Amino acid sequence: MITSKLIIGMTMLSKSCIFALFLVIAVLGVNKFLLHKEKDSYIYVLYYIAGVYFITLLMITGVTAPWNIHNAHNYELIPFVNFEWRYFLLNILLFLPLGCFVHLILEKKKHFSFQVILICISISVGIELIQFFFTGRLADIDDLIANSVGCIVGYVFFYLVYGIVKTHQTYPAGIGSFSILTSLLGFLFGVPYRYGLCLGDMIFVKWGLPIWSGNLNGHLSFDGIHFSLPAYLMIQVLAFFIAKKNPKQFGSKLGKIISFIGIIYFVILIIYNIISY
Q: Under 8 Å CB-to-CB from 200, ≥6 apart: which residues?
A: 14, 189, 190, 228, 231, 232
Residues 223 and 195: beta-carbon distance below 8 Å: no
Residues 183 and 198: beta-carbon distance below 8 Å: no
In-domain check, residue 41: yes
Residue 35 lies in domain: 1-60
Q: Are residues 103 and 159 both part of a single domain? A: yes
In-domain check, residue 66: no
The residue among 14, 29, 60 that closes a domain is 60
Q: Are residues 52 and 96 both part of a single domain? A: no
Q: Are residues 91 and 53 both part of a single domain? A: no
Tens-binned pLDDT, residue by residue, of the chain (277 aa): 445 665 676 677 778 878 888 888 898 888 888 887 877 666 777 788 888 889 989 888 888 888 887 777 788 888 888 778 888 888 898 898 888 888 877 765 556 778 888 999 999 999 989 988 888 888 888 999 999 999 998 888 887 877 766 665 666 666 777 788 788 888 888 887 666 677 788 777 767 777 888 766 556 667 788 888 898 999 999 999 988 988 887 778 888 999 999 999 999 999 998 888 7
Q: Are residues 54 and 84 both part of a single domain? A: no
Q: Are residues 269 and 186 both part of a single domain? A: yes
Confidence at residue 30, expressed as pLDDT on a 0 to 100 scale = 87
In-domain check, residue 209: yes
Domain count, the chain: 3
Q: Are residues 161 and 80 both part of a single domain? A: yes
Three-class SS string for the chain?
CHHHHHHHHHHHHHHHHHHHHHHHHHHHHHHHHHCCCCCCHHHHHHHHHHHHHHHHHHHHCCCCCCCCCCCCCEEECCCCCCCCHHHHHHHHHHHHHHHHHHHHHHCCCCCCCHHHHHHHHHHHHHHHHHHHHHHCCEEEHHHHHHHHHHHHHHHHHHHHHHHHHHHHCCCCCCHHHHHHHHHHHHHHHHCCCHHHCCHHHHHHHHCCCCCECCCECCECCCCCCECCHHHHHHHHHHHHHHHHHCCCCCCHHHHHHHHHHHHHHHHHHHHHHHHHC
Confidence at residue 79, expressed as pLDDT on a 0 to 100 scale = 84
Side chain identity at residue 184, one-letter code: L
Distance between CA atoms of 19 and 51, rounded to whole angstroms? 8
Q: Are residues 97 and 46 both part of a single domain? A: no
Confidence at residue 45, expressed as pLDDT on a 0 to 100 scale = 75
The residue among 168, 200, 216 that closes a domain is 168
In-domain check, residue 223: yes
In-domain check, residue 154: yes
Distance between CA atoms of 122 and 100, rounded to whole angstroms? 15
Residues 198 and 192: beta-carbon distance below 8 Å: yes
- Cα–Cα distances (Å) from 34 to 27, 37, 143, 164, 230, in that order, read 10, 8, 40, 38, 38
Q: Are residues 162 and 181 both part of a single domain? A: no
In-domain check, residue 65: no
Confidence at residue 1, expressed as pLDDT on a 0 to 100 scale = 45
Side chain identity at residue 25, one-letter code: I
In-domain check, residue 272: yes
The residue among 118, 138, 168 that closes a domain is 168
Q: Are residues 182 and 162 both part of a single domain? A: no
Q: Are residues 51 and 34 both part of a single domain? A: yes
Q: Are residues 210 and 137 both part of a single domain? A: no
Q: Are residues 160 and 222 both part of a single domain? A: no
